[in-house]
Amino acid sequence: MSPPVLVLMPDGEARVDLARPVLGTTTATRLADAARRAGFADVLMAPGTCSIVHGARVVSSGEPIAAPALLAFESAVIAETLLRALVERPPASDEGYSLADALGRPSAWFTGHLASVPAELPIAEQLPWPPQRGPEDLARYVYGEDRARLEAVIWSDHAGADEGAVGAGGWLRAIVNRLADGGRPLGQIELAATTTAVLAGPAALLGGRLGIVLGAALLCIGVQLAAVVPALARLVRGRGGAADVQWLAPAVRPFGHAAYVSALTYALVAEAGRSSVAGLVLLGFGAGAAFLSLAHARDVLRGERPRFELPSADAFAARLGAQLPRWSHSDVRVEVVALALAVTGAPGLPWGVLVGAALARLWRWFIAPRG
């Protein structure tokens, strides 16, 4: 049997602007992209649709199709996992089933054989749901209050890939949602994250507790912003330019570490009363930490296998037969510890955290097989 086609139908009941993006992409574009990845052969636009979907073919009512088809309102969002299940288990050629959302509203119609494009979405008996799939895997954007259900369906597709943003508290997911709806190119967000993290160094050079704390805070913000870029990229992958994402994000943390530890090293060496020998020792450790961070940044920017990547704290805990508490599952563990210690106003404490992290970078290089 040939793969099905997706036919996007106009939703006359929608009371929202379907041309406005939801988490970075319109509902029609998101559904069309998910259908293509799931194995649908083509995307067709029925008369009356108001969305713009690149690569979709405009058809007229009554135009022959003669293929399995999923007819869906352009206001609908369907989880990619459900779309894959539909491709794998199409109905018989003489059968057609409706797909309703969690509120019982018809959102799509799936048939084993669509003779021609209908004038409106057919209504039939409810689809026998594939295993582990159900109405929660689709949502229809009719009213403004439906947006929360749409976001839940969209995020469900990333539950396995974006553990950081999906598994974290609502505040982190809210940040990603806000960035997705902002419409800014992802390259600009990566550049902003890099600039923020690197400014940790100049901030620390201001001196005093304020400068040290401000530098650590900028480092946390920059690294956290870079950490949500992968989740953000998946949300907006239907938007132009999303394919070039993560060219700079993996280097944000090492760049920030190098800048902050360099500034703290200068502050420590310049302290009055410090002996020359102690100053040389501090300078050596600080320079080594900055060098290892920059070497890691160079590897990731060149697309090479990182030699000085930070080891996983979760993997280390698992080797010891322990498990880290859930509250510690964060993309900025090292930076948060440095920030907490920076509050004391002693530059040596956050400096020690970053130098320790730099020494930890040597572990994977130390145990890596030759060649």
Supply the CATH number for residue 306's domain. Answer: 1.20.120.1760
Residue 245: pLDDT band with limits 50, 70, 90: low
pLDDT digits (tens, 9 = 90+) for 120-146: 999 999 999 988 899 999 999 999 999
Domains in the chain, number: 2
Instruction: Check whether residue 103 and residue 194 sit in a common domain.
Output: no
pLDDT at 46: 95
Instruction: Check whether residue 149 and residue 189 sit in a common domain.
Output: no
Q: What is the percent of the chain with per-residue pLDDT over 70, rounded to a whole number? A: 92
Q: pLDDT higher for 323 or 33?
A: 33
Instruction: Check whether residue 247 and residue 362 sit in a common domain.
Output: yes
Instruction: Check whether residue 143 and residue 182 sit in a common domain.
Output: no
Find out whether 223 and 256 touch, Cβ atoms under 8 Å: yes
Which of 77, 203, 202 minimizes the C-alpha distance to 136?
Answer: 77
The residue to which tokens 């988490």 are assigned: 23
Instruction: Check whether residue 152 and residue 169 sit in a common domain.
Output: no
Residue 166: pLDDT band with limits 50, 70, 90: very low
Which of 156, 176, 207 terminates a domain? The answer is 156
Q: pLDDT higher for 115 or 166?
A: 115
Q: Which residue type occupies 285?
A: F
Q: Which domain holds residue 274?
A: 164-367
Q: 120 is written with which tokens?
A: 């409106």
pLDDT at 274: 82
Instruction: Check whether residue 146 and residue 209 sit in a common domain.
Output: no
Instruction: Check whether residue 98 and residue 198 sit in a common domain.
Output: no
Instruction: Check whether residue 304 and residue 169 sit in a common domain.
Output: yes
Instruction: Check whether residue 133 and residue 217 sit in a common domain.
Output: no
The answer to pTM > 0.85 is no
Which of 156, 177, 206 terminates a domain? The answer is 156
Q: Is the pLDDT of residue 240 over 50?
A: no
| SS3 sequence of the chain | CCCCEEEEECCCCCCCCCCCCECCECHHHHHHHHHHHHCCCCEEECCCCCCCCCCCEECCCCCEEEEEEEEEECCEEECHHHHHHHHHCCCCCCCEEEEECCCCCEEEEEEEEEEECCCCCCCCCECCCCCCCCHHHEEECCCHHHHHHHHHHHHHCCCCCCHHHHHCCHHHHHHHHHHHHHCCCHHHHHHHHHHHHHCHHHHHCCCHHHHHHHHHHHHHHHHHHHHCHHHHHHHCCCCCCHHHCCCCHHHHHHHHHHHHHHHHHHHHHCCCCCCHHHHHHHHHHHHHHHHHHHHHHHHHHCCCCCCCCCCCHHHHHHHCCCCCCHHHCCCCHHHHHHHHHHCCCCCHHHHHHHHHHHHHCHHHHHHCCCC
19-33, 51-65, 243-257, 335-349: least confidently modelled range: 243-257
Instruction: Check whether residue 207 and residue 223 sit in a common domain.
Output: yes
Residue 159: pLDDT band with limits 50, 70, 90: low
Q: Is the pLDDT of residue 11 over 90?
A: yes
Residue 370: pLDDT band with limits 50, 70, 90: low
Residue 167: pLDDT band with limits 50, 70, 90: very low
Instruction: Check whether residue 116 and residue 235 sit in a common domain.
Output: no
Instruction: Check whether residue 223 and residue 152 sit in a common domain.
Output: no
Residue 234: pLDDT band with limits 50, 70, 90: confident
CATH number for position 65: 3.90.550.10
Q: pLDDT higher for 234 or 267?
A: 267
Q: Is the pLDDT of residue 280 over 80?
A: yes
Residue 89: pLDDT band with limits 50, 70, 90: confident
Q: Is the pLDDT of residue 218 over 90?
A: yes
- Mean pLDDT taken over the chain: 89
Find out whether 76 and 31 touch, Cβ atoms under 8 Å: yes
